[in-house]
Every structure is written in structure tokens, then in C-alpha cells.
Structure 1
């Protein structure tokens, strides 16, 4: 009897040890994502399936995510941050909240798209563009520069999304390259010229198609999503003249929080986003440009080199003053 009890006790102890071992092995991370649920859920699900690492997800606008992380500081439960633009990532880096990434991750991406501190890395590229109505706009009527949109002939015909992180990064880049006064004056002149504010880029494209506006300032990939569904969708897009700030190329990117207690698993997620599988998802499903060599852009993109030649020179490490841009947008009455 005593022998049986000892055997049972040993089996129970072994079972408990095994269970505790499984708990220790089980991994999960928390991601604060400024990229939308509709964009990222599929990729997070694939990562969970391929690695066994559970991803807890918190979605919000990129600016709100950055503010949340700064407010939480070392107490944040976040392990990874995904942002829509380099400006928000730069502001988190400046605040000392991001940890250096291993070279095995940063070396996979062109140094142009890695922070100087090595604490964030691009996961995809996106370009600012001019979208316009193919039904109501003659190509001879297209503006050469984003600054031309303040001309009275465009009054009430233009839309943008001042609450969108990509637009805010564009304004930050304009402040950096053109100066505070010129940027403020452009925003005031756009407002005086009847610019219409939309909640997001998708609504800009829909507004053009519906006849609410004739021109819009979105990222390039939003129109592609409509064109894939309907090749006759009545909106086209183009670049401004070479070097114009309206052609800015920005990044979506990711970093690991210094406060993360799951840094190794967090790095695995960022590494996964840079695999062929992750890059093909960004290209084939979101219609962004890849950041890893060997992955081809979507056929609807056109040549990436041409897009980069048209883009202005913007140091993505220098557009971290998100707070200054938010303050300016509030000051001119656009937020």
C-alpha cells in the first residue's frame, strides 16, 4: 500500500513538473500596433501558427500608441511596437523606450530604413501621392507641386486626412525641409482654399470617386486596393515634380520595448515580418513596397527605383518631432 502511494506521489509530482515545464516553455508577447487590425491580424495569426508564440494585440492610431507608451514608460506591458511611420518610431527612440535590435535583423534592411540607434527597423515602404478623378480632371490640370494646391482653381476640390499618422509624418518632413513658417502657411492656405478633411486615406479615395473632391493626398497603396477589385474605378494617381515634398517615401516599422520581459520572442516577430512570407504579405495584400532584397513589388506599383528618384531627400531619423506637428495641426485648426 505504501509502495503504491509512493508511486502515485511520484507520478503526480512528475505530472506537475511537466505541466510547469510546459507553462515555462509557452511564450506570448504583447504588440501595440498603430497599423490597423484589418492589415495585421492575418500576419499575426500566421506568426502564431508558425512559431507557437501567442500575440496579444492592442490596436490604435500610431500617435495614440506613441503617447500610450510614453505615458506607461517602464510599466508598459508592450513588447513590440508597430508604427505607421518613422516619425512615431523616432519619437519613441528619442524617449529612450526602444531597445537595440540585433544585427541579424537590422542587416536585412537598407541602412536608410534603420534608425541610427539601431532600435527600430522598417518593415515596408509607402509613398505619398496625388490621387485624382479620372472623370473630372484633365492631365493638363494636374499641379506640379503640392504647394500648387493652394491655387484658387483647386478651391474646395482637395482632401487630406490630418488625423492620419502618415499625413502627420509628411507634415513633420515638410517642417524639417521647408521650415516652420512655410509649412504653417501652407496648412493655413489649404484650409482657406476649402480643403476637406477625411478621417482616413480610404475615405479620400472614396470621396474622389463619389465626386466630393477631385484631388487627394493619400499613401499610394490605398488606390491599388480599389483597382484590384475594379480596374475601371474612376480614380488615378501620380507623382508631383521630382523632389517635391509631396512625393515623400516613408516607412512602416517596428521596435522592441526596453521594458519587454520577452525580448527574444519580440525579436522573432520583427524577424518574421522581414522574411519572404512577411514581405510578400505586405506587397501582395497591403500593396506596400518591400524593404528586403529579392522581394518584387506588386505589378500595380511600377518601378520602386523610379518612385525613389521622384522622392525628396528626407532623413527619416530626423522626423521624430511628432508632438510639434500635432501642436501645429491643432494651432491651425485641423485637429
Structure 2
């Protein structure tokens, strides 16, 4: 078998007008008489997770499902919009999302098939959509990284509103175009309402935070003392600190309660497209992503939280509170377009 996972459309990541992008494969409707079976051809995965991060595990997936796999890599929001545009004509069989909001949007559009019990077997219930339309493949927490020498007050932060203290003016780094920051803002909208979230963003902007291209850049700026605090996901710091002399790492993390938007517990996840002609193989693909083998990869190689109780984090991660009362319904993070409009209105993107 060819175990090389092929990239169908590398240029898709730069596409802005998604309706004008090529689907990168067949767009025919399911063949009559093929119900209950798999059509021929490669399994097509739309991946909002970056190629550098997940290509190794998707190569393992290809061997596990016993069929060639083709992958389209792009931003999660871009691919979700592309799927909406393609509808039943989409060549995609599986959507591998960077965050839950895009999966929630596809669920609300009735575009995801119900996952079989065998597909999600072994996954902690908190990580399975209530209607089994998608399943988390790994978990992550929003955190604040702070410089231990210049911003020790970062250790005492308790809520999202603590970030608005005047003492942090000019001292906060963030990545406004990053999907994880925008998911945080969506959670802020869910928690505070539209007016409350906009007011928080306006107050935050008044503190003159420094914008960076991505989470890694914000983290590195904190560690070298360029800013005192950074808004990131937890795993960036663990991967940054791995193998370094602890004395050389000038930053630490502060975790917030899961009930606070600043401590949002979000997930990467996957679902099977209802329009897929390869339902059986697509279910196997999602099952592999939550299998012990794949979960070990996410735990060790990406420093994320595994979604199975029988696979433990490979780093000394803080425990997560997954109770429903402590976190928002991740399906409610589906209004990314409204979040982006608010960020534009405030002048942050």
C-alpha cells in the first residue's frame, strides 16, 4: 500500500473566496445501489489541523483503514465554509477540525452523519457530542503564559476580567488572527453576551496589547521579556520548554477555571460527512483518530490532552474539569463569522 498521504490542494490555505476554489476531487452524488457499502477511490479528509502537526498520524490512519487517503489542508474556518458551499457534492468523507465550533456549525446544518458506538468506544463521554455527530480527538486549554521575572502578577490571575488591570498596559501579547484566540472571543460572547464581549474587547484594546502572528511568537516574546503576559493554548509552552534547562525558561502558565472564557477547554475533533460515499471507511478513520495509538501520538507529539481514560498525558499537564457545569457547550462556538465581525468592528483584525 502507498502509505504516503497526498496533499490535494496546498494552495487552498491562501484561498479567500472559497466558492471559487476547486473541490480537488470527484463531486458526484452517491451511486444508486451503493447504500450501506463503500464507493471505490481514496478516502478524502478535509483537515483544518496543520500538515506539519498531523501528517504523521494521518499516514498511520491510511494503513489502519486499508485504503489510500487524500488530504486537503487549510484553515478550519475555510474548510467549513467550503463544505457548506459544496453541500452534498463535496468529495470529502471526513472533516478533521482544529476546533469544535466548525463541527458545531456543520452539525446545525445537518451535514454530519451519526457516529457509530464502535467508532467512539473508549472515549470519555465529555468528549463525545451529545448527538454523536462528532467526537473530540484531543483537548486543549486556554492559558496565560507569564514572564516570571517581569510579570509575576500573572500567577495570580483568576478570571478573564483580571486581564484588564491597568498594570498590564502594553504588556500582553496575543495572536488575533489565530483560530484559538477567535474561539476564545466566541466563548466570551457566549458568556458575556454581545454587548459585554464587545466592551471587554474595547477595554482590552485600550491596554495596547501587542499583536503577534501566532501563539508561538507570543510565547517567545513573553519568555524573552518583550511582553509580560501572553494568551495562548497550553501545549505551545510544553513543547517550547521540552528539553530545555528549566533555569533557561523564563515563563510559566496560569490556568483559569473552565467556567471562565479565559480558561476555555476546546478540542480538535472529527466527524463523518453525511454525504460521504465511503461511510464504512470514514467511520474507521474517525475511530482510528480516537484509538489508543493515535491518542498516544497526540499526548506525546503535540502535548495535548488525550480523550481516552486509558491514555495519559505525556507531560505534567494540569488536570481538566470536564463537568458540563464548568464549561460551555462547544457546539455554541459555531458563530465564528460574528466573532470576526466583532473583532473587525473593534479594530483588532
TM range, smaller chain? 0.7 to 0.9
Task: Please give the root-mean-square deviation of Cα atoms over the aligned residues, in Å.
Answer: 2.1
1:212 counterpart SS class: coil
Cα distance between partner residues in 1 of 2:308 and 2:41: 27
Counterpart contact for 2:258–2:264, Cα < 8 Å:
no
Whether 1:90 aligns to 2:90 is: no
2:233 counterpart SS class: coil
Cα distance between partner residues in 2 of 1:283 and 1:39: 12
Q: Partner of 2:271 in structure 1?
A: 255
Runs of 4+ with deviation above 6 angstroms: none
1:199–1:140 Cα change, 3 Å:
closer
Cα distance between partner residues in 2 of 1:242 and 1:86: 16
1:90–1:243 Cα change, 3 Å:
closer
Whether 1:135 aligns to 2:149 is: yes
Whether 1:265 aligns to 2:297 is: no
Cα distance between partner residues in 2 of 1:224 and 1:267: 32
The total of aligned residue pairs comes to: 309
Cα distance between partner residues in 2 of 1:315 and 1:25: 35
1:174–1:151 Cα change, 3 Å:
same
User: Scaled by the length of structure 2, what TM-score is found?
Assistant: 0.82
Cα distance between partner residues in 2 of 1:140 and 1:164: 22
1:140–1:261 Cα change, 3 Å:
closer
Partner of residue 165 from structure 1, selected from 169, 176, 179: 179
Q: Partner of 1:184 in structure 2?
A: 198
Q: Partner of 2:25 in structure 1?
A: none
Partner of residue 234 from structure 2, selected from 196, 220, 226: 220
Counterpart contact for 2:100–2:330, Cα < 8 Å:
yes
Counterpart contact for 2:238–2:315, Cα < 8 Å:
no
Counterpart contact for 1:247–1:312, Cα < 8 Å:
no
2:118 counterpart SS class: helix
1:205 counterpart SS class: helix
Which structure shows the bigger proportion of residues in helix conformation? 1
Q: Deviations over 1:120-155 (max 9, x none)?
A: 111111011110112322247743322122222101
Cα distance between partner residues in 1 of 2:250 and 2:67: 43
Counterpart contact for 2:100–2:268, Cα < 8 Å:
yes
Q: Partner of 2:312 in structure 1?
A: 296
Q: Partner of 1:66 in structure 2?
A: 80
2:239 counterpart SS class: helix
Q: How does 1:1-335 map to 2 (within 5 A)?
A: 27-139=41-153, 142-230=156-244, 231=246, 232-240=248-256, 243-302=259-318, 304-305=319-320, 308=322, 312-335=326-349
2:205 counterpart SS class: helix
2:252 counterpart SS class: strand
Q: Partner of 2:30 in structure 1?
A: none
Q: Deviations over 1:66-87 (max 9, x none)?
A: 1111122122211111111111
Cα distance between partner residues in 1 of 2:224 and 2:135: 38
2:242 counterpart SS class: helix
1:211–1:275 Cα change, 3 Å:
same
Greater radius of gyration (CA): 1
Task: Give, in angstroms, the shift of residue 102 of structure 1.
Answer: 0.9
Counterpart contact for 2:120–2:287, Cα < 8 Å:
no
Counterpart contact for 1:188–1:332, Cα < 8 Å:
yes
Q: Which moved more, 1:217-226 or 1:47-56?
A: 47-56
